[in-house]
A and B are shown apart, each in its own frame.
Chain A
Amino acid sequence: MVEFGGFDMPLMYSSIRDEHIAVRTDAGLFDLSHMGEVRLTGDGAEASVQRLLTNDVTGLRSGAALYSVMCNEKGGIVDDVVVYRDPGGYLIVVNAACRSKDVAWMRDHLDGTELDDLSDALALLAVQGPRAVEIVQCVAAVDVGTTDPFHFVDTEVGGVHAAVSRTGYTGEDGFELYVDADAAGSVWDVLRATGREFGMLPCGLGARDTLRLEAGLRLYGQDMDDATDPYSCGLGWTVKLAKGDFTGASALRALDPKHPPRRFIGLRLEGRAIARHGNSVIARGRDAGVVTSGTFSFTLGYGIATASVDPELSPDTPLMIDIRGSLAPAVRVPLPFYRRTKGA
């Protein structure tokens, strides 16, 4: 067990490798109840969300979800979030470690909006992998297979009310299920029992990290922080300057999206060494950046890393990563490292 965002969570249930492979080939079950959920309602809710987030929620219909970042006045990322729209308002899902900071930040930037921190009342379970649809279909009261990606449906799972969302953090198809905290244990048990014959394994934080990194998904606090602008970590696509004013907009307008202060890149390591957060990236003998995340890719069979580097670095410059004093050659590769075959 490890402490993560104020929660005691298992790094693994069996083995990170086995859990990782289960998600890529069959399915995995995750307890993500540490994530924070903040509900915003009221006449001013849409305008408040528009002001808080860089992405544009005006086109977001009830039943749909959107990924965004939330910036401070300087354009630094306060958190990365998923926002859900329902008939009553918005649900913003935040990182556990950022929860109190985010709630305080949101409260200071609301107008005509009620804020409810539902984090303790809501549990979040995820079923991810190519067999996730089959598994959740066995226990959900509606045909969840017809739910589009980044959409959700209010239904029952194992007799318990659940918002079932076709989202995830693994690069696979799958669902995230929001249920009352009191019912989480029984929903977990139902999913676990149902998933067994589909090869589903319970998965810990270790596999969650290796899966998300293969899929090129960012981790707050590691790949970005309050001092990182969205362009510098490859999240410029979440910034909609045309939507009008929002927090951080003037700072972001001053940046050139094509030439950000830092560039976020993918690296493939030669050999089996593993780059870790904080390792230096060396180009032609000088410091050219820092590894933000690194792991061994069980799917690809080699080490992978993301790095924040000098934007002037030309793409063909040979790079080395300083791993505990040894220089490991690394090749720049496009993100994501892994992309699932659709419709398989």
Chain B
Amino acid sequence: MADLSAYRFTATHEWVLLEDGRATVGITDNAQSQLGDVIFVELPAAGTVVKAGAKFGAIESVKAASDLYAPVSGTVSQVNDALSAQPELVNREPYAGGWMIRLDGVSEGGVELLDEAAYEASTAG
């Protein structure tokens, strides 16, 4: 298991890695496991402004479709294009190759960010 000490988590099962005013966003291992085989990830174009707590995309598995919510506010600087050909990366490497968007000009606010222990506790039972 990857070292997740720098990752922060949301109640809606996204993760965010914050570094120098920039952020990388994906969904948690728990989320991918609940969704099952991911078929399709719908992501915003670079340049899109996303707002903490607002929908930024959608993910579709064989079982269900779910919306993706931004853990922080910012401007999309990069989108993981590999997911269009290999959406299964979200299942295989949720915290690495399965990342979804990178944001610039990040600001926190409105969404509670949990550390790993608190997130694990929130999903238990």
What 1/0 mask marks residues of chain A from 262 to 296 whose CB sits below 8 Å from any chain B CB?
A: 00000000001110100000000000000000011
B36 adjacent to chain A (CB < 8 Å)? yes
CB pair A16–B65 under 8 Å, yes or no, is no
Q: A17-B37, A324-B65 are in contact. Are A273 and B60 (CB under 8 A)?
A: yes
Q: Which residues of B are found within 8 Å of A295, using beta-carbon distances?
A: 62
A16 to chain B, nearest CB (A): 5
Q: Which residues of B are found within 8 Å of A323, using beta-carbon distances?
A: 65
A335 adjacent to chain B (CB < 8 Å)? no
CB pair A206–B36 under 8 Å, yes or no, is yes
Q: Which residues of A are found within 8 Å of B119, using beta-carbon distances?
A: none
B14 adjacent to chain A (CB < 8 Å)? no
Q: Which residues of B are found within 8 Å of A274, using beta-carbon distances?
A: 39-40, 60, 62, 65
Q: Which residues of A are found within 8 Å of B65, using beta-carbon distances?
A: 274, 276, 323-324
Give Cα A303 to B60, complex, Å: 11
CB pair B40–A273 under 8 Å, yes or no, is yes
CB pair A272–B39 under 8 Å, yes or no, is yes
CB pair B40–A17 under 8 Å, yes or no, is no
Q: Which of B41-69 contact A (CB under 8 A)?
A: 58, 60, 62-63, 65
In the complex, which of the residues A15, A272, A276, A324 contacts B37, with contact meaning CB atoms closer than 8 Å?
A15
In the complex, which of the residues A16, A273, A324 contacts B62, with contact meaning CB atoms closer than 8 Å?
A16
B125 to chain A, nearest CB (A): 15
CB pair A17–B88 under 8 Å, yes or no, is yes
Q: Which of B77-96 contact A (CB under 8 A)?
A: 87-88, 91
CB pair A17–B60 under 8 Å, yes or no, is no
A200 to chain B, nearest CB (A): 19
Give Cα A16 to B62, complex, Å: 8
Q: Which residues of A are found within 8 Å of B88, using beta-carbon distances?
A: 17
A244 to chain B, nearest CB (A): 44
A160 adjacent to chain B (CB < 8 Å)? no
Which residue of the partner chain B has the closest CB to A2?
Answer: B63
State the A residues within 8 Å of B (CB).
Answer: 11-12, 15-17, 206, 210, 272-274, 276, 295-296, 303, 323-324
Extra contacts besides A15-B37, A296-B39, A324-B65 (8): CB < 8 Å = A12-B36, A16-B36, A17-B37, A206-B63, A272-B87, A273-B40, A274-B65, A303-B39
Sorted nearest first, the 10 A-B pairs with minimum C-beta distance are A272-B40, A17-B37, A296-B39, A16-B62, A16-B37, A274-B60, A15-B37, A16-B36, A296-B62, A272-B39
Q: Please name 22 pairs of A and B residues whose Cβ atoms are closer than 8 Å in the assembled complex, sorted by A.
A: A11-B36, A11-B63, A12-B36, A16-B36, A16-B63, A17-B37, A17-B62, A17-B88, A206-B62, A206-B63, A210-B62, A272-B39, A272-B40, A272-B87, A273-B40, A273-B60, A274-B39, A274-B40, A296-B39, A296-B62, A303-B39, A324-B65
